[in-house]
Structure 1
Amino acid sequence: MRTGEPLPAVGEVLTALATGLWHWDTATELVTVDAEAARLLGLPARATTLTEAQARARLHPVDWNEIIGVVGLAVAESTLAEVRIRVMDEQGRVIRLVRSRSKPSYDRAHQSFRLIGTLQEVTEPTPGTPAGRSAVTGDWRRSREAFLLDAGRALAEARSTAEVLRVAAGLSMPGFSPDGLALFALEGDRLNLIGHHREQPGGPGDDEPLTHLALETDYPATEVVRTGRAVYLSTPEQYKARYPVTWPIAEPFGRQSWAFLPLTVAGRTLGAWMAGFAYPVAFTPDERAVLTTVARMLAQALSRAGAAETERALTDGLQRSMLPTLGPRIPGMDVAARYVPTGGGLQVGGDWYDMIPLPGGSRAGSGAGRIALVIGDVQGHDVRAAGLMGQLRIALRAYASEGHRPDAVLSRASRFLHGMTYGTPDGDDGSDLRFATCLYIEADPAGGTLDIARAGHPDPAIRMADGTVLSRATAGGLPLGIDPDADYPTTRIILEPGETMLLCTDGLIETGGHDLETGWQRIRTILEEHKGDLEELADALVQGVHGPSSHHTTGPLADRREDDIAVLLLSRPGPDGPTSPYPAVRRTVLSVAQAEPERVGVARQQLRELLHDWPSADQVDSAVLLVSEMLTNVLVHTDADALLIAEVRGEPGRRRMRIEVTDTSDDLPHKRSPGELASSGRGLVLVELLADSWGVEPRGEGKSIWFELYAPETGEAPDAPVSPDSP
């Protein structure tokens, strides 16, 4: 074309450049294409009008969905919509790759889009060349989709603002990755920098110019918050020209391109996100689409994290305001407690502990007054569970302060909780019935007497002065709130000098995927091996649950159980300090009622635990057999209950066990000579055969049958049997 000649028509130019024109109106759902655009779409080369369905049939389904997203983004940012599209034939095969560029507009009256654009074929680059590596192909799409999927998963798991910042700092976008990130939060009428990630420059004062920025400040992030529209700066010259006032803040970082995007949730702008690049970035529509998607995910993650942090602060304050302080030291006893909210959600639940001064003095005479120790767990991990826990704790304090015995305190508390749940609109039909497990102990520090009532709660455990740990079986009833007329029998035990009692909720036992058996073994190991004071032991128990090894489980992840933890420790110091290497006596006491024959098995188990380090396994088996015989004889031949007292005395090399079974029947047992087919009458025969010494002693009311076994290291029996009342 010579100089001065008229310019050719637009259509001639586009035809010469193999570029087609198209027009799409979503209100009419019609797409109009010229001859070249029709050819590129695999149609006859003539101008035609297609329905949306006909046009969509010529395009790859994934690319059609991408067009919708790019168009919406271009309208929001008032930019061109550019996208690469795979054209398909009737058999669903890709016949060419085309690039579409259009200027969309939005008709608010009809809530529709109108687009006028061009269509041009794109030649696939040769794999391995720079063009091939930078081209937007199907591989790039797959990389982008994988990146967005991973980023979304990581941000969805972030539970705090700090975690969101860590995830954002680790984002590696496909094809272009920022070397600097910053997050700004809108607080009132100011914008505040809440976190950043950068490599250079550094310095404690660098953040100061970006804290508490007024929204009128000439800065990209404030403009983004004011307008709700992203700002893209491809070169330092663009930044300096648009924001000369704040350019000196950005200049020292030496970056070449910046993207500032709004953080918007439900139409409300929460702040802004800055991504800075050490190399020039053109911010193509594909790149802008990725940045916009990440900004939306960041906004959602920050919104969730902020709400979660607020809830945690409120519920943690609620929970801890309901938990008591243990108060001053109790003469004759030491107490330590811990509470750890390990469950999910609101981090609030129904676990609690309490220590209550009781009216009156010591039952053993002068000295420290009696106290009540309470630990329990209301069903559920929500605010309602925490509220019920607070009310139940107050009720228990009231009943205890009135001077009721442990069984009466729990009976009244059960009636109270039953009325609380059934007395509400949600609980009239029992659909929202809540129950609570509880362990209530009335402790007399002067004599170490503990009267225990239990409502569906785990039994306490005793660590004896030499480190032996026993699970102390106690009588119990239903959890509180299930039956308003439930009974709660009382078990009395003596906490000997140097012994420590552990009370805990089931969270300590089962957290980390453990069941009751494996969880108890874990706790038992901690109790046996710990050598520190009571406070250190409380910390060791909690840390043992939360440590890496505590979360080992062979079952599926879905079966792992996490729960709140409450721990209460009660210790009676020995004469030589908290523990003595070998105490004068190691003792366990257990009652077996006529209506509880299953406790004979509990007695056998407790005896084995008591004799865990006895040198002769045969003697342990003999002792277990004789205890079973003696307890069964009481249940079968009398109408009385049985009381078992098992003791181990002496140091290694001169140890002796004494087993005594007492009942209130005055009928003395007699040794008999049963025939071969007799089903009974061998109890005393076995005692005489297996025991080193034994006897039957009448008491003021009832009798006592006892036997002793001597460890094989002694080589000889002691001079005389030792009375259970001897020191």
Structure 2
Amino acid sequence: MRTGEPLPAVGAVLASLATGLWHWDNAAGQVTVDAEAARLLGLPPEPATLTVATARARLHPVDWNEIVSVVQLAVMEETLAEVRVRIMDEHGRVVRTVRSRSKPSFNHEMKAYELIGTIQEVTEPPPGVAARSPVTGDWRRSREAFLLDAGRALAEARSTEEVLRVAAGLSMPGFSPDGLAVFGAAADRLTIIGHHGHQPGDEGPFSHMSLDTDYPAAEVVRTGRAVYLSSPEDYKARYPASWPLAQHFGRESWAFLPLTVAGRTMGAWMAAFTYPVSFTPDERSVLTTVARMLAQALSRAGAAESERELTDGLQRSMMPTLGPEIPGMTVAARYVPTGGGLQVGGDWYDMIPLPGGTSPANSGGGRFALVIGDVQGHDVRAAGLMGQLRIALRAYASEGHRPDAVLSRASRFLYGVTDSVTYGESGPEAGDVRFATCLYVEVDPASGTLDIARAGHPDPAIRMADGTVLMRPTAGGLPLGIDPDADYPTTRLVLEPGETMLICTDGLIETGGHDLDTGWRRIRRTLESHNGDMEALADALVQAVHGPSSHHTTGPLVDRREDDIALLLLCRVSEGCGCDAEATTIPSVRRTMLTIAQAEPERIAGARQQLRELLHDWMSEDQVDSAVLLVSEMLTNVLVHTDADALLVAEVTGRPGAEGTPGERRMRVEVTDASDDLPHRRHPGELASSGRGLVLTELLADAWGVDPRGEGKSIWFELYESSAKEPEAPGEVDGPGVP
């Protein structure tokens, strides 16, 4: 039949049965109806050709959407389309309900539907039956609510296990399956992805079944078309070979639907019922919609699981193990990837045995290096560069180079690698220039000596035996990869027994809206308040940023992850530090050391800050201010009046007093230089700009002195927490004056 042709003579026979005939050509946008069909639509009872808009105006809006979905379902399954429709008058009132049955076809060239069907009036069921009828408005509303809830729940499922759990919990309106099974396809075999409503082991006969088998799920995967079996007789007649496998489950009806994504059938979904189901168009529509959502959810979950597996494998291949225990020291590490993308980026850490001594794997506990760094970016390119740079650093360190030489060679290596890389069609043709920050620490376990070289990376933090935390400034250079001839000076620190060093990437500091200062304060609070072992401390540092996480660093976190996090903790064990209960008890001593070079007078400000951090709980603020003033005077005198560098050593000994009361602690500050010139007394006038250093020292210190050394001298002063000495009036002093 073509548009414009007269309807067949059978229309007269149908009219006598109060049944109309109609034809819908979607490509032409026309609906042709005979006289009876026109009458049922509320139009004059005569043949007519209507526009789709005119015909649609006579139907309830909800029912029009129902027609579209049922027609699509019938085209896909190559079945009849049956739908119940409410007819509206020009005032929007329902005048009758009709049932339409049609045979749709799809023109692939025109990409349009063509339908020929019948229409006849039906009687609405009484109100008491409406809620149970699968074709009433109430059922439609409950079905729409069900599909919305099911779609939301499946969209939130993050793994295949969660998808199957959601599918098993779906309660379909009017009919709910008793058993579910999800089949996949691997090569030419049928596989069981998951099932519900069956006993363990029931899936055995259906696993690894050939796709050529006479089984409904295999046929669905082969053809991509649904199979509906309304009764055991229907099942036995259509699939006699596999009926014995399904018979003992005691089911009455089965629906096998294709799981299709992007036009590819990835598997099949079985819904089995313990009661007969006729699988009306409405019921098939619900099952088909759920199958589509289930296929999308399984596809997303599978992609996410593959991505997580790739991420974990890549991360495990790039992150080292810390190896055997080191006598006298404990090491802990964490790596937490960012929450976006591939969840692996440019942060890394490493622990490298160094030549020239016994390996850390042996009882001798030779030297080793701790390395932590961050390659710019959070993509696969950053991860690849991180892997190359880590291998290069390990190679340079294993050759026996000192920390400054290791970083210099690594910077030259990264500069050459990134400057020579070009993109293809997916990126710019210019070089993919990247840089990396890095902190390299050479450790001597026997003495606790740390030789540190830094390339644009955050400074380390030291937690002392009594919980005091100091941010230790170290000399540094440019990030790696920027200047192939960059220099990286070395800073030497000593890790005392009971002290713990933290080195980390900026993700630990600046995540969560913090800047460098507020992030360090957060880290300081965590370090000061934690008394557990190293593993617990590492977890606490991560939890302070993100909330609870797994002991294993690859586990998901509950809060957002703005940047990768890598951290290393190194503890020189002693009793009470939480690392080794059998270690020797040490006295309560705080100590900090800092070298001020002639060319670095700006580091005097850092020395003042170091001293304030060392005295963070000193009872007398006046004494703290006095100590800071005297340190400034002593360091400035060395830089101005000698050609030598200044070495500052500050320590606090003794126990603090009870809360709110001064203790019996002693603070000693010593500044050493290599000049043999001793200070001499001076009498500065009122307008003099210098010469008051020793005068201030005598006024403010409880004790002070100048000690000659083999090479150079040492100027020192002490303050006692219990004294809080009041300054005296200026006058003559017996001690030596300043130069």
Secondary structure (helix, strand or coil) at the match of 1:386 reads: helix
Counting only pairs closer than 5 Å after superposition, residues 450-461 of structure 1 correspond to structure 2 as 450-461=450-461
Q: Distance in 2 between matches of 1:534 and 1:544?
A: 15
Q: 1:325 is matched with which residue: 318, 321, 342?
A: 321
Q: Distance in 2 between matches of 1:186 and 1:499?
A: 58
Task: Compute the TM-score of the two structures, normalised by the length of structure 2.
Answer: 0.81
Shift of 1:328: 4.3
Correspondence for 1:376: 373
Deviations 1:416-450 (A, max 9, x none): 21221121123987673222221111222232211
Q: Which amino acid aligns with 1:355?
A: M
Deviations 1:135-186 (A, max 9, x none): 6566655554554444444434444322322332333444444343221111
Deviations 1:483-537 (A, max 9, x none): 3333322211011122222222334445667665565455445544554544554
Q: Which amino acid aligns with 1:415?
A: R
Structure 2 contact 376–434 (Cα < 8 Å) conserved: yes
Counting only pairs closer than 5 Å after superposition, residues 204-603 of structure 1 correspond to structure 2 as 204-243=200-239, 246-247=242-243, 249-250=245-246, 253-341=249-337, 343-361=339-357, 369-426=366-423, 432-509=432-509, 516=516, 520-521=520-521, 523-535=523-535, 537-538=537-538, 541=541, 547-548=547-548, 560-574=560-574, 577=580, 583-593=587-597, 599-603=603-607
Q: Distance in 2 between matches of 1:125 and 1:636?
A: 104
Q: Distance in 1 between matches of 2:512 and 2:168?
A: 30
Larger displacement relative to structure 2 (677-686 or 71-80): 677-686
Structure 1 contact 30–52 (Cα < 8 Å) conserved: yes
Q: Which amino acid aligns with 1:259?
A: A
Structure 2 contact 462–470 (Cα < 8 Å) conserved: yes
Q: Distance in 2 between matches of 1:95 and 1:606?
A: 88
Q: Distance in 1 between matches of 2:650 and 2:412?
A: 37
Shift of 1:235: 3.9
Structure 2 contact 706–713 (Cα < 8 Å) conserved: yes
Larger displacement relative to structure 2 (117-126 or 470-479): 117-126
Q: Answer yes or no: is 1:180 the counterpart of 2:179.
A: yes
Q: Distance in 2 between matches of 1:284 and 1:188?
A: 34
Q: Which amino acid aligns with 1:407?
A: D
Q: Answer yes or no: is 1:646 the counterpart of 2:617.
A: no
Correspondence for 1:659: 669
Structure 2 contact 497–586 (Cα < 8 Å) conserved: no
Q: Percent identity?
A: 78
Structure 1 contact 422–428 (Cα < 8 Å) conserved: no
Q: Distance in 2 between matches of 1:343 and 1:401?
A: 34
Distance 1:560 1:702, change over 3 A: farther
Distance 1:21 1:453, change over 3 A: same
CA RMSD between the two structures: 4.1
Correspondence for 2:737: none
Deviations 1:279-316 (A, max 9, x none): 54433323322322222222233233333333433443
Q: Which amino acid aligns with 1:467?
A: G
Larger displacement relative to structure 2 (573-582 or 98-107): 573-582
Q: Answer yes or no: is 1:194 the counterpart of 2:219.
A: no
Larger displacement relative to structure 2 (511-520 or 277-286): 511-520
Structure 2 contact 403–440 (Cα < 8 Å) conserved: yes
Distance 1:632 1:64, change over 3 A: farther
Correspondence for 2:554: none
Shift of 1:263: 1.2
Distance 1:144 1:683, change over 3 A: farther
Q: Distance in 1 between matches of 2:721 and 2:463?
A: 22
Q: Which amino acid aligns with 1:401?
A: S
Q: Distance in 2 between matches of 1:606 and 1:623?
A: 11
Q: Which amino acid aligns with 2:594?
A: L
Correspondence for 2:731: none
Larger displacement relative to structure 2 (324-333 or 367-376): 324-333
Distance 1:243 1:589, change over 3 A: same
Secondary structure (helix, strand or coil) at the match of 1:425 reads: coil
Structure 1 contact 514–560 (Cα < 8 Å) conserved: no
Q: Distance in 1 between matches of 2:680 and 2:549?
A: 53
Correspondence for 1:724: none
Shift of 1:247: 4.6
Structure 2 contact 228–255 (Cα < 8 Å) conserved: yes
Task: Compute the TM-score of the two structures, normalised by the length of structure 1.
Answer: 0.82
Q: Distance in 2 between matches of 1:549 and 1:340?
A: 10
Distance 1:628 1:286, change over 3 A: farther
Q: Answer yes or no: is 1:170 the counterpart of 2:163.
A: no
Counting only pairs closer than 5 Å after superposition, residues 659-698 of structure 1 correspond to structure 2 as 659-663=669-673, 666=677, 668=679, 675=686, 684-697=694-707
Shift of 1:222: 2.0
Larger displacement relative to structure 2 (539-548 or 367-376): 539-548
Structure 2 contact 98–122 (Cα < 8 Å) conserved: yes
Q: Distance in 1 between matches of 2:417 and 2:390?
A: 13
Distance 1:629 1:148, change over 3 A: farther
Q: Which amino acid aligns with 1:131?
A: A
Deviations 1:113-149 (A, max 9, x none): 321123345677777x340464656665555455444
User: Which runs of 5 or more structure 2 residues have no equivalent in the other structure?
Assistant: 1-8, 359-363, 551-556, 657-662, 726-739
Larger displacement relative to structure 2 (604-613 or 372-381): 604-613
Q: Which amino acid aligns with 2:574?
A: G
Structure 1 contact 257–280 (Cα < 8 Å) conserved: yes
Shift of 1:105: 2.3
User: Which runs of 5 or more structure 1 residues have no equivalent in the other structure?
Assistant: 1-8, 551-556, 716-727
Q: Distance in 1 between matches of 2:135 and 2:180?
A: 25
Number of matched pairs: 694
Correspondence for 2:79: 79
Structure 1 contact 511–560 (Cα < 8 Å) conserved: no
Distance 1:85 1:710, change over 3 A: farther
Q: Distance in 2 between matches of 1:639 and 1:41?
A: 107
Larger displacement relative to structure 2 (447-456 or 631-640): 631-640
Distance 1:475 1:177, change over 3 A: farther
Q: Distance in 2 between matches of 1:306 and 1:209?
A: 25
Shift of 1:638: 6.8
Shift of 1:541: 4.6
Distance 1:525 1:288, change over 3 A: farther
Q: Which amino acid aligns with 1:163?
A: E
Secondary structure (helix, strand or coil) at the match of 1:182 reads: strand
Structure 1 contact 501–569 (Cα < 8 Å) conserved: yes
Distance 1:85 1:685, change over 3 A: farther
Structure 1 contact 513–562 (Cα < 8 Å) conserved: no
Shift of 1:261: 0.9
Shift of 1:455: 1.7
Q: Distance in 1 between matches of 2:291 and 2:389?
A: 47
Structure 1 contact 582–651 (Cα < 8 Å) conserved: no
Structure 2 contact 575–586 (Cα < 8 Å) conserved: no
Distance 1:119 1:428, change over 3 A: closer
Shift of 1:50: 2.2
Structure 2 contact 623–724 (Cα < 8 Å) conserved: no
Shift of 1:232: 2.1
Deviations 1:438-490 (A, max 9, x none): 11112222322111111222222222223333332222233222333333222
Q: Which amino acid aligns with 1:425?
A: T
Deviations 1:319-364 (A, max 9, x none): 32233333444454333334344534333322222222333349xx
Q: Distance in 2 between matches of 1:692 and 1:634?
A: 22
Structure 1 contact 465–583 (Cα < 8 Å) conserved: no
Shift of 1:67: 3.4
Q: Distance in 2 between matches of 1:156 and 1:304?
A: 9
Secondary structure (helix, strand or coil) at the match of 2:479 reads: coil
Q: Distance in 1 between matches of 2:85 and 2:567?
A: 63
